[in-house]
Every structure is written in structure tokens, then in C-alpha cells.
Amino acid sequence: MMGDQIGSSKLIVLLAIVTLLSFCSPASSFAFLPRVSRTDDAVIIDFDGVGYAPSYQGKTLYGQIVDPRFVPLPSFNPYPMTYRHQEQTPNGWIYSYGYPTPLALEDVLPVRQTAATQCGIGPVMPASRALTSERIAGGISARKNAWPFIVALKKSDDSLFCSGTLISDTRVLLAAQCLEKMSLLELSGVTVLVGMFLTDQSDVQMTRRISKLFLHRQYNAATYANDIAIIVMDAPVVLSRSVATACLPVASTDPDQFVDQDAIILGWGGGTENDGDVVPFPNLQQAKVSIWSNGDCKGDETAGRYVTENTTCITSATGDKFTCTPADVGGPVVILPSPGSWTVVGINSYTKDCATSGLKTRVSAYRAWINLYMTMA
């Protein structure tokens, strides 16, 4: 009898071990990791269909139509009870755990796509102003909803760490350095904040997660070469009067394509506290700058050593307008070549210690790359 009990106990223990191993085996755990592949010019990280990015198609897990502005968090995010902690109101769903209350419906009504509204919605070119040495630095507060194509990125701890530019209803253009050093787990926790104006995130109009990520394969963290990436969001954003895409420039091999043109830099910048740390402003900042020639930029003591034919530089006549904090990295430099067509010509890349000149990835040099990964499923 005792022998039978010992044998049964051993069998139970053995079954428990086998079951545990089956859950922990590489084959089973791999199903919850994104697929990573490479092409000649990109590293592709694909979360879709591997336990992270659900097939959205306008429905929840329960098949119910939901407010398209807020996509439910994936099942293994830090707040796994989000599906249960929500309340339906006449204006949509209210999500707990930091997801903001949706705006009034009239603020996010979809707009009919016409030639005038497909890309580049924004204000008239802001006038030059005498500014103090504040940070976007050196900028002024933007008007709410004036720049509908800039987005912010946050980590799972709610900290803002980069900006980006909406270039389609599913894709965000930004710097590779924003995401290149993050682990796959950290990437799974990144949220794209669309329509944000305030850094307290209380007015975010839509939230999305990463479904797929294209990082330029030749990105060099030491030289900032090929500092470009594209995020594919897990559901299309709703285009409206306050959420729209920026236009893209025509392809060009001329590094001085836009030299001496006025441009606008955007970001949440920052002021300087007593301890010397640069902190974000409470709301989006804008500053008027000029596109600098690559020849002149090569002589700059900070950015000059990183200048290539695929970069561009900006400068400020007053010397006090520049991108500064990590939240500004990846954000846009835009010009207005014609009314109603704000065009992203640069991606904020390198600005050492809030220097007054800044190295930007030149978007027109990467149009073929962008076109390829704008359409790749």
C-alpha cells in the first residue's frame, strides 16, 4: 500500500513537471514573442497575431463595436484588468488606469478626405517673434489642435520619451534611436498618444499600440546615420479636424533642397529647473527656424561631424530656438511650401546639450524607403 502511494506521488510530481515545462518551453513561449525579420534595409518587428496586437477590425474581444479612438490594451499589459474597468457613457467608453475620458464627439468627427484635407493641415506660417531663452526651446506655446500630425510616445510607466509624425492613418514616422535600444518587452508597452497637447496626457484624443515596427537596418547609434523608423499602429486613427497627417516631400538627393527656407520645429521642449535638469513644458511648443546649408552645418562644433547627404540642419537667427528634451527626439521639422500643405522635411535626431543647431534626418533622402514600408503589410 505504501509503495503504491509513493508511486502515485512520483507520478503526480512528474506530471506537474512535464506540464510546467510545456508552458515554459521555447516553442510555447515563442508564440507570445513578436516576429523579428530583416530585409536589406530594415529590421522588422511584428507584434500582430502573436499574442500582442489583437485583430482589431472595430470590435472588442466580445465582438461589440467600440469607440474607435481608444484601442483596448493587450492581454499581458501591466494593467490586465482594463477590460473590466471601463464604463460606457453617451460619449463612448471611459477607461481606467490612465486612459483619458474621450473628448466630446464633435471634436473627433471624421472628415471627408479631399485634396485639401488629406495631409498638411496646420496654421498659417507663424510670424517671427523676439523670444527669451526658454526651451522648445526658445519656442512659444502652440495653439491647441494647430498641429494635428504630431504624436507623442510613452512607456508603460507613463513617461514621455519621444515624438513622431503621423504620415497616414496607420503609420508614424520617427527616429530609429527612439526604439532601437528597447527590449521586445519594452516595445510591447509603448503607447502612441495621438492628438495630445498637454504633457499631463489629460487631453489625448486617441491611443494606439505598436503592431509592426520598421527600423532602418543601417542605423548607426554612434553617428546618427539613417536615424529613421516607421511605426505601424494596431488600428487606424480617426482623421478629423484635430488629427490629420503631414505631407511628405518629393524625393531628392540634394542635401540643400530646402536651404534658407523658414521651418517650424515642434515638441514639448522644456524649461530649466533649479537643479539644471531640462523638464517638459506643460503644453506643445513651436518655434520658427531656418534650414541651414550642409556646408555651413559641417562647420558646427557639435553637429558638424555627423553631417551627411542624408541629413539636414536647422539654425536660429536669435540662437535660442532648438529641440532639447528626449521627448523632442523623433518629432518633425516642417515647412509650408504651399497653403494647407505642411510638409515634414526633417526628423529630430541629434541635439547635444540643447545646442542651438540641430541635426535632422532629411526625409526626402528616404522617400523610397518610406514608400516601401508605407505599403508593406
Instruction: Write the CATH number for 281.
Output: 2.40.10.10
pLDDT of residue 69: 46
Examine residue 204 and state whether it is found in any structural domain, yes or no. yes
Q: Which residues contact 84 (CB under 8 A, 6 or more apart)?
A: none
Examine residue 67 and state whether it is found in any structural domain, yes or no. no
Examine residue 284 and state whether it is found in any structural domain, yes or no. yes
Q: What is the number of domains present in the chain?
A: 1
Cell of 363: 526625409
pLDDT of the chain along its 377 residues, tens only?
A: 545 545 444 434 443 433 443 334 443 334 457 899 999 999 999 998 664 444 333 333 223 334 444 444 333 333 222 222 333 333 333 322 233 333 333 333 343 344 435 799 998 776 544 332 334 444 588 999 999 999 999 999 999 999 999 999 999 999 999 999 999 999 999 999 999 999 999 999 999 999 999 999 999 999 999 999 999 999 999 999 899 999 999 999 999 999 999 999 998 875 544 455 556 778 998 988 899 999 999 998 888 899 999 999 988 754 444 455 567 899 999 999 988 899 999 999 986 655 555 789 999 999 999 999 999 87
> Cell 523608423 sits at which residue?
229
Examine residue 173 and state whether it is found in any structural domain, yes or no. yes
Examine residue 296 and state whether it is found in any structural domain, yes or no. yes
Q: Measured between alpha carbons, how far is 359 from 302 in angstroms, rounded to an integer? A: 9
Q: How many CA atoms lie within 13 A of 257 on its CB side?
A: 19
Query: Beta partners for 193?
Result: 152, 207
Q: What is the DSSP string of 235-246?
A: S-----SSS-PP
Q: How far is CA 250 from the centre of its chain?
A: 22
pLDDT of residue 282: 87
What amino acid is encoded at 7 in this protein? G
Examine residue 36 and state whether it is found in any structural domain, yes or no. no
First and final C-alpha spacing in the chain? 63
Examine residue 199 and state whether it is found in any structural domain, yes or no. yes
- Quote the pTM value: 0.74
Q: Which domain holds residue 275?
A: 91-103+121-375
Contact 51, 31 (CB under 8 A): yes
Examine residue 82 and state whether it is found in any structural domain, yes or no. no
pLDDT of residue 78: 30
